[in-house]
Structure 1
Amino acid sequence: MVRPIAMLAGLGFVGILLYSLIMGAVSFISEPPAKTVEHEFHLHPKEVHFASDGPLGKFDRQQLQRGFQVYKEVCAACHSLHQVAFRDFKDLGFSEAEVKAIAKGWATETPSVNPETGEPATRKSTPADKIPSPYANEVAARAANNNALPPDLSLMAKARHDGGAYIYSLLTGYTDQKGFKNHAGQELLKEFPDAKTPDSLHFNPYFANLNIAMPPPLAADGQVTYADGTVATKDQMAKDVAAFLIWSAEPKLEARHQTGVAVIIFLLIATTLAWFSYRNIWAGIKH
């Protein structure tokens, strides 16, 4: 008696699911969802190549140093890098003395405690310290940025789809909303007249909701002066800092690539040896 009731209950449940599926499909076809401005005008990241791309990719140390310079002189005023310590900059090709000088001369000092009074204090950073935040806390960060909270950039290249390409596209994607068209040739303000960007925000089609609180950080060519003589165009600076943030998100990327190649070679050799062993063991046996 219990089994037939359970079967009927299961059939009833399946029937309800099928009914819901069919009705949902009919509703979607007859009344398709309204198009949104984000769906129609949000652009996919631009195509850009980095030396670290691909299974055999390696970091370009000179580019990483240039990207660090852009971060230090432009981005560090608002964005933290909590997961990176000063000593990690040795991986960029800096010497130990240079790392100590970078830490000591950092614009924001490291939070500390006065050993005599126990009161909060600050001190010069050392190579063992993490990169200090430019703000004392979230309240101070929001107060300085019109209530917007600048995100930490340590893992930004891993936290966003297309990583470095997204960062590069965002930095170079600021444009005038008036007259902006998507890939289909539709003009934004003609299709969505009420989608005008508020005065406190900035239009960027590579940002999720098209309007971002951060003003264009790379405002003009030559904003930084590269030590290696590279011409600091906006495009070059954006690509360099994107490469630096790819490194900050995955500093062991080269080691992972090398390990992957070694594992593949090992598996190929092991497979070959296993095949010859199989042939040798079963060589005298006829099928």
Structure 2
Amino acid sequence: MIRLFSIAAGLVFTFVVMLAFVVGAYTAATEEPVHDASYYFAEKPIAPAGGFSFNGPLGKWDYAQLQRGLKVYNEVCSACHSLKYVPFRDLEKIGYTEGQVKAFAATKQVPGINPDTGENELRPGLATDYFPSPYANDVEGRLANNNALPPDLSLMTKARKDGTNYVYSLLIGYGEPSEELKAQFPEFETPAGLHFNPYFPNLNLAMTKPLTDGQVTYDDGTEATVDQMAQDVAAFMTWTAEPSMVKRKQTGWAVMIFLLFATVLAYFSKQQIWAAVKPKKAK
């Protein structure tokens, strides 16, 4: 009796599962999906005119651009965003001297311990320290930004699809919803505290427009337009995410040339070794 009951329960369970599968498949095949405004009006990232110097198999870092990008990050972005995976000493890789790096690090306050009392305190940064966070913890970060925690930017261009162009597009993309969007989705609105940007996945984000023309003064005299600053900081963030990218490309070319040479050498070696061996004729 118990066995029959178990079999019956199993059959009922199997029937329910199969029924749910069939109903779900039928619904998915026949019902039109419902999309919100972001499905139709979220735009794909665009590249700046001329692209970036590090794009392509032969790309190289533009160190002047990386230094300008650091300046934009330091004077604008660092007020909200951290670079917790980037040590100050790595700045030597983009053209700064050891003395310049030490001087820059000393302008930052990083967490430390008072050697006399053992209590936590802030101290001037050293070249071996990492870029500090602008907030003591996540709670403070959320409270200062309408409950939206600003993300760390160290790996941002690797964390987003087409990351370099995404950062560039996002920074220049602030504006108002188009008339087409308003006509197709009359109910669409940007909630209070958010800002419309067609390059953000859901069209509205908490970060206010961070860049305005002339916001920074470049040491090399480059005009600090919004477009220029967006390009520079996007390039700098690409470097922070993958500082070895250009070296990796160069190594790849060297490996490919070596493999090509080795292949040709192996072919001629094979010809030399088997030259005296005559193939047997078929009878």
TM-score (norm 2): 0.87
Match status 1:114 vs 2:114: yes
Deviation at 1:36, TM superposition (A): 2.0
1:4-44 deviations in Å (ceiling 9; x for gaps): xxxxxxxxx9xx99x958972x5444212112212111100
Distance (Å, rounded) in 2 between the aligned partners of 1:275 and 1:125:
58
Query: Per the alignment, in what secondary structure is the counterpart of residue 255 of structure 2?
Result: helix
Q: In 2, distance between residues paired with 1:276 and 1:151?
A: 56
Query: Equivalent residue of 1:214, what SS?
Result: coil
Q: Tell me which residue corresponds to 1:5.
A: none
Question: Take 1:35 and 1:149, find their aligned partners in 2: how far apart are those partners?
Answer: 27
Looking at structure 1, the residues matched to 134 and 195 of structure 2 have their Cα atoms a distance apart, in angstroms, of 22
Structure 1 residue 122, shift from structure 2 partner: 0.7
**In the alignment, does 2:218 pair up with 1:226?**
yes
Q: Hey, what does 1:210 align to over in structure 2? A: 203
Q: What is residue 188 of structure 1 aligned with on the other side?
A: 181
CA offsets per residue over residues 153-179 of structure 1, 9 Å max, x none? 0000111000110000000000112xx
Answering whether residue 101 of structure 2 is matched by residue 99 of structure 1, we say: yes
1:275 and 2:267 are equivalent in the alignment: yes
Aligned length: 261
- Where does structure 1 differ by over 6 angstroms across 4 or more consecutive aligned residues? none
Residue 59 of structure 2 corresponds to: 57
Determine the structure 2 residue equivalent to 1:6.
none
Matched AA of 1:43? E
Give the aligned residue type for 2:270.
Y
Q: 1:269 to 1:20 in 2, by over 3 A?
A: farther
Mapped partners of 1:176, 1:23: distance in 2: 39
Length-normalised TM-score, structure 1: 0.86
- Residue ranges of structure 2 left out of the alignment (5+ in a row): 1-13
The question of whether the paired residues in 1 share the 8 Å contact of 2:47 and 2:168 is answered with no
Alignment of 1:28-43 (within 5 A): 28-43=28-43
- The alpha carbon displacement at 1:208 in A equals 1.1
Shift of residue 54, structure 1, vs aligned partner: 1.3
Paired residue for 1:129? 129
**Please, what is the CA RMSD of the aligned residues?**
1.9
- Please list every run of 5 or more consecutive structure 1 residues that lacks an aligned counterpart in the other structure: 1-12, 182-186
1:273 match: secondary structure: helix
Following superposition, the deviation at residue 47 of structure 1 comes to 2.6
SS in 2 for 1:110: strand
SS state of the match for residue 80, structure 1?
Answer: coil
1:7 aligned residue: none
Provide the residue aligned with 1:71 in structure 2.
73
Match of 2:162 in 1: 162
Q: CA deviation at 1:286?
A: 2.6
Structure 1 pair 40/264, CA: closer, same or farther in 2 (3 Å)?
same
Identity of aligned residues (%): 54
C-alpha distance in 1, partners of 2:228/2:41? 26
Please state whether the residue corresponding to 2:134 is helix, strand or coil: coil
Q: One-letter code of the match for 1:141?
A: G
Distance (whole Å) between structure 1 residues aligned to residue 107 and residue 117 of structure 2: 26
Shift of residue 118, structure 1, vs aligned partner: 1.8
Q: Given the alignment of the two structures, is residue 258 of structure 1 paired with residue 250 of structure 2, yes or no?
A: yes
